[in-house]
């Protein structure tokens, strides 16, 4: 804008003082040379290996040898996209040049191999609304990583959190500075439980936990989710264990409309219920009372059998005299029988011998 004005002035002036076309040409030529060679103002500069679009306020930095976050981010930047770089550590104040705050509202840092987020990494971005940290390889996230971004509304962390960082998550996300958080996406992180210690500190409307390793959500967590009436929780692609521990979750699923993808939740255990939609289970499948009754009845049966055995042994013991007599009687009866048989055998032997003789 300013450059155009300057050229326009030049044209006017030259018309008055040097009316020839030749002079006019030289005037324009000088203006162009002057513009190209003058030192560029910092807020017009585009960081090395980035593309700047001043109209939309977008700066896009794609893969390059650079492993650093550019230092000279223009002050007019409203969206900064850095992708495909090997940024292993996000240091404190990584986005503040010289302690000046940036008015940036959108920061996308997906696919940068980020492993460590240090305390106050996003300091100096007080207007930040959206932060995308998806598809990184986080091993460690400081408890104070998200300090200083009070207006953050959307945080994307899908496919980014490796096992060592899972334990850091509830600390890092538990900060008061995320109180405006509206949408939290944590898909594909092998999480086995709800990574938030409390829900009432945020203004959460959407929590995405699809494609994790959640087998069950306990009564306490279900109650807390239920109390956040606005909250919607997405949970498909988790390996639910459909046993009695899932009961309160099951009733929450059926009763509340807080899980928009409820129809897609499948059991993965026990083997007999694998692939069954959680919503289609019957109440008694998950009834802890039923399960307990079954266990109780087996124990009861065992006790009865043991008692019968003991009684039987006692009867034997008390009757040992009678049993002895009885055994003797049997033995005698046997002997008598044998004798009778023996006698008959001797009687019969003669005719048989006679037959043979004939
Ligand atoms: C990224 O940088 C680290 C050291 O800064 C290096 O060890 C690693 O090999 C790099 N990875 C890639 C994919 O360039
Ligand atoms: C940072 O500030 C110092 C002095 O305050 C100045 O000399 C330097 O050029 C500044 N650097 C940038 C990148 O603005
Ligand atoms: C992951 O994050 C991106 C933002 O980069 C979002 O658009 C996408 O829907 C998320 N993926 C899943 C599976 O939720
Ligand atoms: C689920 O997450 C894993 C990483 O944990 C990823 O490799 C896989 O592609 C994801 N699956 C789907 C269907 O998004
Ligand atoms: C979820 O349950 C765990 C373990 O019982 C607990 O530490 C955590 O605070 C609960 N989170 C919410 C939001 O209820
Ligand atoms: C939710 O489910 C439970 C199951 O025990 C039931 O007692 C309760 O009435 C249901 N609440 C609503 C609002 O449907």
- Number of domain units in the chain: 3
The CA distance from 229 to 208, in Å, is 16
Same domain, 184 and 326: no
Q: Which of 291, 310, 331 corresponds to the end of one domain?
A: 291
> Is there a contact between 172 and 142 (Cβ–Cβ < 8 Å)?
yes
Q: Is the CB of 348 under 6 A from ligand 5?
A: no
What confidence score (pLDDT) does residue 267 get?
92
The CA distance from 66 to 276, in Å, is 49
Ramachandran sector of residue 241 (left: φ over 0; alpha: ψ -120 to 50; beta: rest): beta
Of the ligands numbered here, which is closest to the C-alpha atom of 224? 5
| Substitution site in 169, 173, 184, 194 for ligand 5 pocket (most atoms within 8 Å of beta carbon) | 194
* Residue 216 backbone phi and psi in degrees, to 5: -165, 155
Full domain range(s) for residue 313? 295-344
What confidence score (pLDDT) does residue 29 get?
55
Beta strands in the chain (DSSP E): 50-53, 58-61, 79-82, 89-90, 106-108, 116-117, 130-132, 140-141, 154-156, 183-185, 206-208, 232-234, 240-241, 267-269
Which atom of ligand 4 lies at the shortest distance from residue 237's CA? 13
Task: At 106, list the tokens.
Answer: 């959108």
Residues whose CB is less than 8 angstroms from the CB of residue 119 and which lie 6 or more positions away in sequence, other chains included: 92, 142, 143, 144, 145, 147
Same domain, 84 and 193: yes
Residue nearest to atom 12 of ligand 4 (CA): 211
Q: Is the CB of 110 under 6 A from ligand 3?
A: yes
What is the 3-state composition of the chain as percent helix, strand, coil, each rounded to the nearest 5?
Answer: 45, 15, 45
Running along the chain, 358 residues long, what does each successive block of 10 average in pLDDT? 46 51 57 46 72 93 77 90 90 82 93 94 93 96 93 96 92 90 95 90 92 94 92 95 89 91 90 89 74 70 86 84 83 83 65 54
Kindly state whether residue 212 falls inside one of the protein's structural domains: yes
Kindly state whether residue 44 falls inside one of the protein's structural domains: no
Kindly state whether residue 354 falls inside one of the protein's structural domains: no
Specify the pTM. 0.72
Kindly state whether residue 8 falls inside one of the protein's structural domains: yes
State the distance from the centre of ligand 6 to the C-alpha of 255, rounded, in angstroms: 6
User: Could you tell me how far CA 79 lies from the centroid of its own chain?
Assistant: 27
Of the ligands numbered here, which is closest to the C-alpha atom of 211? 4
State the distance from the centre of ligand 2 to the C-alpha of 97, rounded, in angstroms: 8
Same domain, 60 and 74: yes
| Substitution site in 98, 99, 124 for ligand 2 pocket (most atoms within 8 Å of beta carbon) | 98
Q: Is the CB of 72 under 6 A from ligand 2?
A: yes
| Substitution site in 64, 66, 83, 86 for ligand 1 pocket (most atoms within 8 Å of beta carbon) | 86
What confidence score (pLDDT) does residue 3 get?
44
Same domain, 30 and 129: no
Q: Is the CB of 64 under 6 A from ligand 1?
A: no
Same domain, 212 and 157: yes
Task: At 135, list the tokens.
Answer: 């598809």
- The tally of CA atoms less than 13 A away on the side-chain side of residue 254 is 13
State the distance from the centre of ligand 3 to the C-alpha of 17, rounded, in angstroms: 63
Q: Is the CB of 201 under 6 A from ligand 5?
A: no
User: Domain of 92: which CATH number?
Assistant: 3.80.10.10
State the distance from the centre of ligand 3 to the C-alpha of 221, rounded, in angstroms: 24
Q: What is the CA radius of gyration of the chain?
A: 43
State the distance from the centre of ligand 6 to the C-alpha of 251, rounded, in angstroms: 7
Closest C-alpha to 128, from 94, 110, 102? 102
> Is there a contact between 237 and 209 (Cβ–Cβ < 8 Å)?
no
| Substitution site in 134, 235, 238 for ligand 3 pocket (most atoms within 8 Å of beta carbon) | 134
Same domain, 303 and 274: no
* Ligand 6, CB within 6 Å, residue ranges: 251, 255
Same domain, 320 and 230: no
> Is there a contact between 253 and 279 (Cβ–Cβ < 8 Å)?
yes
The CA distance from 182 to 249, in Å, is 23
Residue nearest to atom 3 of ligand 6 (CA): 251
């Amino acid at each position: 804008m300013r450059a155009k004005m300057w050229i326009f002035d030049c044209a006017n002036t030259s018309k008055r003082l040097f009316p020839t076309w030749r002079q006019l040409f030289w005037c324009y030529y000088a203006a162009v040379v002057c513009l190209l060679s003058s030192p560029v103002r910092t807020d017009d500069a585009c960081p090395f290996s980035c593309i700047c679009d001043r109209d939309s306020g977008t700066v896009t930095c794609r893969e390059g040898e650079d492993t650093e976050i550019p230092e000279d981010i223009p002050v007019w930047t409203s969206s900064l996209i850095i992708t495909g770089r090997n940024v292993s550590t996000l240091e404190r104040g990584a986005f503040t040049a010289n302690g000046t705050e940036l008015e940036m509202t959108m920061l996308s840092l997906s696919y940068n191999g980020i492993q460590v987020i240090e305390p106050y990494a996003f300091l100096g971005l007080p207007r930040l609304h959206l932060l995308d940290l998806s598809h990184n390889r986080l091993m460690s996230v400081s408890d104070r990583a998200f300090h200083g971004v009070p207006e953050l509304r959307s945080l994307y962390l899908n496919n980014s959190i490796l096992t060592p960082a899972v334990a850091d998550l509830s600390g890092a996300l538990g900060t008061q500075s995320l109180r405006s958080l509206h949408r939290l996406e944590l898909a594909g992180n092998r999480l086995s439980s709800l990574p938030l210690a409390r829900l009432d500190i945020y203004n959460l409307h959407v929590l995405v936990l699809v494609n994790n390793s959640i087998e069950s959500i306990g009564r306490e967590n279900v109650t807390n989710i239920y109390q956040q009436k606005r909250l919607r929780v997405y949970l498909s692609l988790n390996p639910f264990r459909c046993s009695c521990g899932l009961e309160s979750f099951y009733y929450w699923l059926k009763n509340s409309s807080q899980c928009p993808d409820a129809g897609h939740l499948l059991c993965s255990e026990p083997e007999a219920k694998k692939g069954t939609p959680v919503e289609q289970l019957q109440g008694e499948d998950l009834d802890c009372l039923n399960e307990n009754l079954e266990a109780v009845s087996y124990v009861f049966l065992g006790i009865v059998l043991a008692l019968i055995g003991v009684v039987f042994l006692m009867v034997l013991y008390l009757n040992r005299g009678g049993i002895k007599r009885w055994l003797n009687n049997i033995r005698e009866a046997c002997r008598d029988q044998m004798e009778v048989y023996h006698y008959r055998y001797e009687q019969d032997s003669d005719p048989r011998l006679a037959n043979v003789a004939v």
